[in-house]
Amino acid sequence: MGRCFAPSQAYPPGRCLMARPYIPHEIEPKWQERWEKDGIHHADVDPNKPKHYALTMFPYPSGDLHIGHWYAMVPSDARARFMRMRGYNVLFPMGFDAFGLPAENAAIRRGIHPKVWTYQNIERMRKQLRSMGAMFDWRREVVTCDPEYYRWNQYWFIQMYKHGLAYRKLAPVDWCPRCNTTLAREQVIGEERVCERCGTPVIKRNLEQWFLKITAYAEELKDFSHLDWPEKVINAQRQWIGDRSEGANVVFRTEQGHPIEIFTTRPDTLWGATFMVLAPEHPLLDEIVPESHQKQVDEYRHRAARLSDIERTAEEREKTGVFTGAYAINPVNGERIPIWIADYVLMTYGTGAIMAVPAHDQRDFEFAKKYGLEIRPVIFPLDEDGNPIPLDPATMTEAYEGPGVMVNSGPLTGTRIVKAKGWDDPGIMKVIEWLEAQGIGERAYQYRLRDWLISRQRYWGTPIPMVYCEKCGWNPVPEDQLPVTLPDDEHVQWKPTGESPLTYHPTWKHTTCPVCGGPAVRETDTMDTFIDSSWYHLAYLQLGTLEKEPFDKKEYEYWFPVDTYTGGAEHATMHLLYVRFFHKALRDMGFVDGPEPMIQLRCQGVVLGEPRPGDFVVVEGEWTQKPTAMTARRIRVVRASQEIRHLPREQWGEFRVEDGAIWGEVYFRDEHLVHVRVNPYRPDEGDKGEHAQLVVVTVMPETQVEIPGKPDAGHMELTYHLGVEKMSKSKFNVVEPGPLVDQYGADTVRAYLMFFARWEKGGPWDSRGIEGVARWLRRVWNLVHESAEAPRREDADPDKVRQLRYHVHSTLKKVTHDLENFDFNTAVAALMELMNALGNLKKDLMGTAAWDEALDVYLRMLAPIAPHMAEELWTEVLGKPYSVHQQAWPEVDEEAARAPEFTLVIQVNGKVRARIQVPVDITEEEAKRLALEHPAVQRRLDGREPKRVIYVPGKLVNIVV
RNA sequence: GGGCACGUGGCGGAACUGGUAGACGCGCGGGACUUAGGAUCCCGUGCCGCAAGGCGUGAGGGUUCGAGUCCCUCCGUGCCCA
């Protein structure tokens, strides 16, 4: 019988067995509409069912859904579906993280309003998301740039402000002195740190900004005991938060009386402080530097402002600094000590000022040696008998940072310092108590974690709901006046100023003081967009409007917390930390409860671009510099290098220079040049590219370019060599899901994304591999169609039935286990394997009851992975009750899943010598007997007695000679 | 410089608590069916060897009856932090 290409509508039952081809775009939109219409993905509170809140990170609406979005969301969807089939009431919502910079940049560059740009993108991405066939409950969608959403950002902020968790403080920002504006971090370009627009070196400048007190939760955030999160993420957070350093805050004063607070872990060395060091951007410098030193201070500040924090604090770097001409008074002994500035002190770290004790701190020691500052030991180490060993500053080669006894320390002289670290050192504690009694210092601690700076000098974000009045200072906007909405009239100007357009708006910022009713101005900065994603998991818990409440209390009580959260690990120290902080802050303010917002976290890997070879070309032309540069007369693509590489080596051809022509692979190309690599790349011979010889070929306007199949091609169409790299538009290695879905259908793309790599690992995309998955699904499609037409039969061979049921139930067991554990690739592999087994058994069993069971189980297992095909085959082809997605996950028949026999491995001295099939219930004696009798063993035993015989039930017998 | 991962065929990857290395798929080789095929189906495919057999999880060492898996040293790659 020939192949029958009847279109599906004309598919006549009972004829043409393999007739109906699998055409995904005929079934996928159909089911998507039906599911939508029937609301089968709606998740509603149902106290009679166990709940499962599955959440996957919502996308930024950048324009188009990337393959990375699919990679993150599709397996999450498959697992949510799996959980639903297992009897859970599953909530799987979706929304858009819609505030952010790209929208504003589009406004600046193209004059399109960020709101218009964003909502257009959302519209497009909604459609694309639907094409995935995921079970999102769209009724709960949230869009963070919607005033109904961001009013709650403002509400939370005000609550935190009222609870002392939000405060305002001076902090440095990057500043372009030429454009006279602040710059976002991404606007500062390269190692030279220049302004992206004018190329002027960027400096740091202080600005009043809002902070959230995440450090108040540092200790609790380091407790991960309630979380089932990847070790990698936990480690990153732990390291990010850092250890608590315990010490004291001590207030020094300048000669003029300005307070300078410092933090130290070694208050016991206070009497050895011989100078102070301030960060170059410390605001006090504007007041205390005398005229005589102004110039050198300014110069130094200017230089320091250009370095990154990492460069400034690198340990190996030599410390630099200058004297400010000002002096401070050491509060413990009234001594006058010089104030220096040095770039290794950061404004963002601690208070931006340190006391320097060169005798007992290595960095201070090096600094003092370099600039000839006094080194005064105030801790002497002790010898074995407990007698102090005096330190002589003249002969010290490094700071003494260890324990000992305090000397030259006024009333505390003689105090023992045991550990030289932390509050459990009684000596240090004694010093702190003394400082507290004197009113010059107090216990304090610090973490590596800094408070969360949320101010952004940008338009497209949540306005910070604070108002400043000359008389009353900063006050929150009254809650009944929320939301403070962004103005979007014609007065908003999209100037690339780096400051929020809100500042320049003629009327927006002017308001009245909520306290005195007098004139006041609004905060014109907006919030960091990470605020938006810090509580969106709560916002999904509503069916109506967010107008009255941030989430529905009943919904909250049922659904919260998130059971499974999926997304990228790159958010480890940002979003994933902020969301935990937010939860804890909200909990302490009485809005939510429980230790953590997201119990289980799983992170997908990254889909990298496909490695690809460059075109193989023959270039004819004239050498301009033999043998490294030539001008091309003619460039001809000869064969894909992929093919070349498979040729035997002797056919590869060699580098030819004598006749003005070269043959090689394109490694790079731009408008004027093509780089051709003339020694063929031979990875299979260990060639890592070290013998590469590149010829730079200049392309002239009149150069002929011949690419087979492309008549009018120019040299810009030559493809060039690309290894495994992140996908990026400029490298042309971006895989777009749209065309893939058009070609293969969403189910195939879904299945391939689950199959091609371990989900948590990711890896390079391989466009050929998808064919294998497509073939598998087509085979399933054909098999089920064939089965539907097959005549019934009762003559099943019991042995074959046993085999079939073994395959079905052992696969079911594996797939269940794998989906549970996010091992999507092996789940798909198991289904492929079962498909192969079904293919082998079909002639014996198709049409029997056992066969029906097999297909039934198969389609249920397929449903989470290829939802459209499973539905079509289940409902339409087999005529089972709609919908397959509302069916229960099948139960494993443990009896059937057990193989009747297994392969017993027989080893001699740990090396495999034979394998025999034995029944599963074989006894130890029997197994050992069979092993010892085996000829392969006898031959090696050669009459000797085995020293030992090891038996591992169900596995092997190892005979030790 | 520190921390954390990882290193398996030509390729992507399997291998649960140490127990048959290479499941599944790609690619490749052969065959069938076709006017033809890049469609479909079947067979083969870690390496060496005609075979018996030997060798194989980055390199070297160790623990063990037995190591891809555990321990040590080194090399390489990736990510995070400084």
Whether A339 and A288 have beta carbons less than 8 Å apart is answered as yes
- State the nucleotide closest to A574 in CA–C1' terms: B80
Give the mean pLDDT of A43-68: 93
Higher pLDDT pick, A939 / A586: A586
With CA of A909 and C1' of each nucleotide, the nearest comes out as B65
C1'-nearest nucleotide to the CA of A752? B25
Complex confidence, ipTM:
0.94
Query: Residues 642-681 of chain A: which lie with beta carbon within 7 Å of strand B?
Result: 646
CA A308 to C1' B82, whole Å:
12
- Length reported for chain A: 961
In this complex, the answer to whether residue A852 has its CB under 7 A from any atom of chain B, a nucleic strand, is no
Q: A178-211: per-residue pLDDT in tens?
A: 766 666 655 666 656 676 667 777 777 778 889 9
Express each pLDDT in A267-278 by its tens digit.
999 999 999 999
The model's pLDDT over A752-775, given as tens digits with 9 standing for 90+, comes to 999 999 999 888 888 888 999 999
Asked if strand B comes closer than 7 Å to A955 Cβ, the answer is yes
The closest alpha carbon to A718, from A645, A620, A637, belongs to A637
Question: Is any atom of strand B within 7 angstroms of residue A232's beta carbon?
Answer: yes
Assess whether A950 (CB) lies less than 7 A from strand B.
yes
Q: Is A885 helix (H, G, I), strand (E, B) or coil?
A: helix
Q: What's the sign of the alpha-carbon dihedral A331, A335, A340, A345?
A: negative
- Which one has a higher pLDDT value, A242 or A582? A582
What is this structure's pTM? 0.85
pLDDT in tens, A632-646: 888 877 654 444 444
Q: CA A144, CA A670: separation in Å to the nearest integer?
A: 41
Indicate if CB(A912) is under 7 A from strand B.
yes
Considering Cα of A300, then A304, then A305, then A306, what sign does the dihedral take? positive
Identify the weakest region by mean pLDDT among A310-319, A324-333, A371-380, A785-794: A310-319
Q: State whether the Cα torsion A263-A266-A271-A277 is positive or negative.
A: negative
A942 CA to B70 C1' in angstroms comes to 34
A880 touches strand B (CB under 7 A): no
Residues 416-445 of A with CB under 7 A from strand B: none
Q: What is the pLDDT of residue A723?
A: 65
A910 CB and strand B closer than 7 A: yes
Q: A720 and A669 in contact (C-beta within 8 Å)?
A: yes
Cα–Cα distances in angstroms (integers) from residue A86 to residues A36, A90, A816, A857, in the given order: 22, 10, 10, 13
Task: Give pLDDT, residue A453.
Answer: 85
Measured over all CA atoms, what is the biggest interatomic distance in chain A, rounded to whole angstroms? Answer: 108
Confidence of residue A10 (pLDDT cuts 50, 70, 90): very low
The spacing between the Cα labelled CA in A611 and the C1' in B6, in angstroms, equals 20
Give the pLDDT of residue A749. 95
Choice among A323-332, A454-463, A655-664, A884-893 with the minimum mean pLDDT: A655-664
- The predicted-structure confidence for A307-358, as pLDDT tens digits, reads as follows 666 566 655 567 788 999 999 999 999 999 999 998 888 776 667 889 999 9
Whole-angstrom Cα distance, residue A443 to residue A569?
36
Which pairs with CB-CB distance under 8 Å and at least 24 residues apart come from A388-396?
Answer: A391/A359, A393/A359, A396/A359, A396/A365
Instruction: Give phi and psi for A573, each to the nearest 5.
Output: -100, 5
Question: Model confidence at A301, in pLDDT bands (50, 70, 90)?
Answer: confident
Instruction: Round and report the angstrom distance from CA (A905) to C1' (B53).
Output: 19
The reported pLDDT for the residue numbered A533 is 95
Q: How far apart are CA A647 and CA A204, in angstroms?
A: 59
- The three-point CA angle A803-A83-A775 to 5° equals 50
The answer, yes or no, to whether residue A213 has pLDDT greater than 90, is yes
Question: Residues near A619 by Cβ (< 8 Å), separated by ≥ 6?
Answer: A630, A632, A634, A635, A636, A661, A662, A663, A664, A674, A676, A695, A697
Instruction: Determine if residue A594 is left, alpha or beta; phi over 0 gives left, psi from -120 to 50 gives alpha, anything else beta.
Output: left
Q: A521: which strand partners?
A: A468, A510
Q: Which of A330, A215, A328, A315 is nearest to A267 (CA)?
A: A330
Amino acid at A335: E
A239: confidence class by pLDDT, cuts 50, 70, 90 = confident
Q: A404-406 and A379-380: which strand pairing?
A: antiparallel
pLDDT in tens, A718-749: 766 666 677 776 667 788 899 999 999 999 99
> Which tokens sit at A153?
């950002």
Q: Which residue has the tokens 């009747």?
A: A900
Q: Which of residues 745-784 of A touch strand B (CB under 7 A)?
A: 755-758, 761-764, 766, 768-769, 771-773, 775-776, 778-779
A485, HSE (Cβ side, Cα atoms, 13 Å): 8
Distance A3 CA to B37 C1' (A): 14
